Structure 1
Amino acid sequence: ETDQSTPLTPLTPAAPVETKEPVSIAVILPFMLNEETPSKSAMRYTEFYKGFLIAVDSLRSNGAPIHVTAYDTEGSVLKVREALTDTAFRKHNAIIAPDNASQLAILAEYGKNNNVKVFNTFLVRDKSYLTNPSVMHGNLPSVLMYRKATNALMERLSYSTPVFVSFKGENGDKAEFVSALKQSLTDKGNTFMNIEVDGRLESADLRALPTDGNYTFIPTSSRQADLNRIMPGIIEWRDEAVTPMVRLFGYPEWTTFRGETLDNMHNLNTTVYSRFYTHEDAPRTHDIDAKYKKWYGNRMENAVPRQGLLGFDTGMFVIPYLLHEASSYDGVQNGYFFTTAGDGAGSYNDALYFINFRPGNIIEKSRI
């Protein structure tokens, strides 16, 4: 084994070699094994690690030994520093970092000084990747996410009139995104409409719209209760008018909705943007679910995102990346498409998806 990893440049992996060096990865997470009864948070990090090990098993035939060492932070900076003093730690080529800013900062500095990649999966708002070439930011930063979603939506609005729906006397939680989208529409000379409703949207609120139009309704709120106050009125107006083409555009939070809300989203041919999505009926999802149940005797927690799938997808990207064989991965739940953040900086995951809930309970996921 080598004591130090070879410098890697995101998106420009070296050509595979016949004899592959071993890959060694440190997974440093708050497993909280010191607790008599682990918290739900600790159980989720354990689930992540279990999913990661399934990825290791899936990649055993790649021709290189894969070594994974788990370190329990116990929620303590001291434990992280203690791990770094272990001489065996120097063998690692990459570190899966915890969700604590102070602990991540320590590991990021270690990675920079020792040429080790530090994979930040859990701290979405961390900005160390902007100044540290060793940090790989596993989520598309929010500002870039809004910009990318706005640009992609602008293309889809070429032949559709956007209709922004807000509630009288209430502030929507998506003001930043809506403001950016309206500015883009204004800059390009595209028209849009604003509808402010009192309480809930009624079909009568839309009767001023020409029935020969093509409309994309965009609520200013992502809350499920607010969405349920909007969709029935749009459906009723569309069915009464017969002729208009109607779509709905929304937000990542909507991927968690079920029941009547989801049925209405399908009815309105709804598209949302999201950093990740799990199609529960997809064969890949079923395969990982079955293996997880076989290995561990229980199922993954029904959460969004599912930590077991996040761990699996992370492993399926990180290991081939370290072997110089892959710079991108479109996963079961999470995708990884890293790009550099500038000279002397690290890299960030550029993955963003449109999830289209079509009529007939059809769901389509496409990268944008």
Structure 2
Amino acid sequence: MNYFFRSILLICLLFETLNFAHAQSTTIELSNNKVVVGGQTCFLHLVKEKQTLFSISRAYGVELSVILQVNHKTEVTVNVGEVLRIPVVDSKTAVAPMLVKKEDDQFIYHVIKKNDTFFSLSKKYDLSIDVLKKSNPNIGDVLSLGSVFMVPKGIKKEKKVIVQTHPKHDKKYYYHVIQKGDTESAIARKFFMKLRKFRKLNPQLKGKALTIGSWVRIPRYLVPPEYFVEKPVEKDTIVQEIEEDKLIVNEVVERPLSQQKIRIALFLPLYLEANDTINEIVTYKDTLRIVNERNTRTVFPKSHNFIRFYQGILLAVDSLQKEGLSVDLHVFDTERKPERVQRILSGIQYTDLDFIIGPVYSNTFSLVASFAQKRGIPIISPLSPKNSLLKTNPFVIQLNTSIESICGRISDYVGSDLEMKNLIVVHPDRYQHLSEYQLVKDIERQLFEKGEYWKNDEMSYRKISFEEYGLFGIERILSDTCENVILLPSTKQPYVENIISNLNVLSQRFAIRLMGFPVWKRYNSLESELFYNLNLSILTPYHIDYKEEKIENFVSSFRTKFKCEPNDFSFRGFDLCRYFTKAVSQYGNHFPDHLSELQIDLLQSHFDFKRVNAFGGLENQGVHFVNYSRDFKIRHHVPNFESK
């Protein structure tokens, strides 16, 4: 008996399942008739044959319990011909409607969900809004949640490609393309222009709003150089492979070593005795003298920089030995005593040396330079920018660039671009005897003897005495239509500080580029803000960029080895030792004639050695160009001067 009832129950369940599936497959046409009952908008749905409350609920995307509540039903039954109120639901009560098919040959059937808009559907299906509205004439302007939206197939949205062009940058102007968020004031501030001047240069903007893709012009002298660098075009794989093959074929083969062991003599005023003395604590017990060393050693002030220089050389020797070179370094403490140097020279007269570094003071350097000349040994003057023996001793190599050579490089740099420039020399009274006067002579040779002044109609050149005419006189000859390049031929600290402080007042109204000398950076009383305001540009033989990885590695190694911080002298000692040791290893004792062929990556130096005359030595004339820009960035590069 139990078996009989279980069989009957199983047949009934199977029958109900078949009826449910049949109901699910019944197509239900959604009503467009609406009525407002009690403030709630409802569809009026006429129940047809084979429709159930469950199928109607799924078709409209409304919970079954909501339909029962609105229509005051207690049972899940419905009669053919009965009119049901189906509420227009929100996202909380909406369920996915049941569709017989999601697409056919002509349409995709999309059920409207929360946040769907004509714009989002246009983006999703890549069709214009007009096409979507024409395919759904009954939808209206508002999309109803849960309604079915027909998306036509086989139609593609027309894409309009708008190509924005702007003039090519020229010698006068940079053409800035308007981007999102740009305003007239923002662009003027970005390029440090007065708003009135910006509008005067761009009269097309009068009474109009900025449009993305249009352009405005900015005076070229106000624009940082990186704005003119064209972005590299991405190349396809084939082209890149071909170029890589060329690089492999043209790879430079490293020159074989000419000499494995290098012998160096280093003469420095280390003041070792003085350092020992100041670190001694002397006490007496009865008549017995007791000497103890301080727990924390101090450095004799006069020897501080020279010890840092020596430490830089030691670090270079370590790196060279790791590369397979053998360096024999002889170190001598000269202090500042010629008689001490004479004793040292007597002791090394039979020692084979490849080159000598130092001494640093002229009274001791001359003795060692004479010794070096007699034996044909190159001798390097490491720190002084002025050496009287440079013009008469062919074995002298001066590492620091002289004031006269710096003046020549400034003249070359200024003379390389004279268009749209107002060139002004602000000089002290009676300055013709100064070394810096060479700058004025070089500039005027460029302008008048070589005829550059008459070739450029859009440049001017003036000289003015600050003592005689003051700040007011300078202001009267400044231009507000082009860049004012001011040359200050002086390294006298009080004079330079006075001029810079006064020019800073004018920097807010005029575009100024002040050309200066490396020693200015050591004037502690000058705040760095003044350099940026005046767009200071300096040509210097030494520059350290602490953002470079090689600098970080050097500083880290220095701290580890010596437990202190490196200074400029440390970098200079490292570069000097590494450069000339490499030169000897590649070219032997003829290395001074091949320095122009040497390519070595250095930390702070740029070496470009030139012989000063037929009978003299070599001077380094390589410089870095360092600019303290108005946007408070330091830019630097190595200028490429054409040989004169």
TM normalised by structure 2 equals 0.48
Provide the rounded CA distance (Å) in 1 between the counterparts of 2:617 and 2:477.
51
Give the aligned partner of residue 214 of structure 1. Answer: 483
- Say which of 498, 505, 508 aligns to 1:233: 505
Alignment match, 1:298: 564
Separation in 2 of the partners of 1:196 and 1:115?
Answer: 49
Residue in 1 that maps onto 2:629 = 358
1:298 aligned partner, one-letter code: C
CA deviation after TM superposition for structure 1 residue 260, in Å: 7.5
Does 2:491 match 1:252?
Answer: no
Match of 1:61 in 2: 322
CA distance in 2, matches of 1:249, 1:78: 43
Take 2:441 and 2:326, find their aligned partners in 1: how far apart are those partners? 50
Which residue identity is paired with 2:533? N
Deviation at 1:66, TM superposition (A): 1.1
3-state SS, counterpart of residue 324 of structure 1: helix
Q: How do 1:137-286 residues align onto structure 2 when only pairs under 5 Å count?
A: 137-165=398-426, 174-187=436-449, 188=451, 190=453, 191-194=460-463, 201=471, 206=475, 209-222=478-491, 223=493, 225-238=497-510, 245-256=511-522, 261-286=527-552
Note the C-alpha offset of 1:161. Answer: 1.4
- Pick closer, same or farther for the CA change 1:195–1:341 going to 2, 3 Å: closer
Is the Cα–Cα contact under 8 Å of residues 539 and 624 in structure 2 kept in the other structure?
Answer: yes
Deviations 1:164-195 (A, max 9, x none): 3457x797975443354345434335231345
Match of 2:273 in 1: 34
Q: Measure, in 1, the Cα distance between the counterparts of 2:471 and 2:421.
A: 20
Aligned residues with identical type, % of pairs: 17
Report deviation, 1:89. Answer: 5.8
Structure 1 residues 328-337 or 115-124, which shifts more?
328-337
Q: For the structure 1 residues 265 and 157, does the alpha-carbon distance in structure 2 shift closer, same or farther, using more than 3 Å as the test?
A: farther
Pick closer, same or farther for the CA change 1:87–1:247 going to 2, 3 Å: closer
Aligned to 1:103: 364
Deviations 1:297-323 (A, max 9, x none): 11135xxxx211111111121110111
Correspondence for 1:24:
263
* Among candidates 91, 96, 119, match of residue 352 of structure 2: 91
Q: 2:504–2:534: 8 Å Cα contact kept in structure 1?
A: no
SS in 2 for 1:307: helix
Alignment pair present for 1:287 and 2:546: no
How far, CA to CA, are the matches of 1:316 and 1:230 in structure 2?
43
One-letter amino acid matched to 1:276: Y
For 1:200 and 1:280, the matched residues in 2 are separated by 39
TM-score w.r.t. the length of structure 1 is: 0.80
Write the distance in 2 (CA, Å) between the matches of 1:317 and 1:60. Answer: 14
> What's the counterpart of residue 26 of structure 2?
none
Asked if 1:70 corresponds to 2:331, the answer is yes
Any stretches of 5+ residues in structure 1 without a counterpart?
Answer: 1-14, 239-244
Q: Which runs of 5+ in 2 are unaligned?
A: 1-253, 279-298, 454-459, 588-593, 640-644
The structure number with the bigger radius of gyration is 2
Q: Distance in 1 between matches of 2:518 and 2:348?
A: 43
Q: Which has the higher contact order (CA 8 A, sep 6+)?
A: 1
Residues 207 and 237 of structure 1 are in contact (CA less than 8 Å); yes or no, is this contact kept in structure 2?
no
What are the Cα deviations for residues 94-126 of structure 1, in whole angstroms up to 9, with x where unaligned? 111112223222222222222222111133321
Q: CA deviation at 1:70?
A: 0.9
How far is the alpha carbon of 1:26 from its aligned partner? 0.9
Equivalent residues of 2:354, 2:377 under 8 A apart = yes
250 and 133 in structure 1: CA distance in 2 versus 1, 3 angstrom threshold: closer
For the residue of structure 1 that corresponds to 2:383, the secondary structure is coil
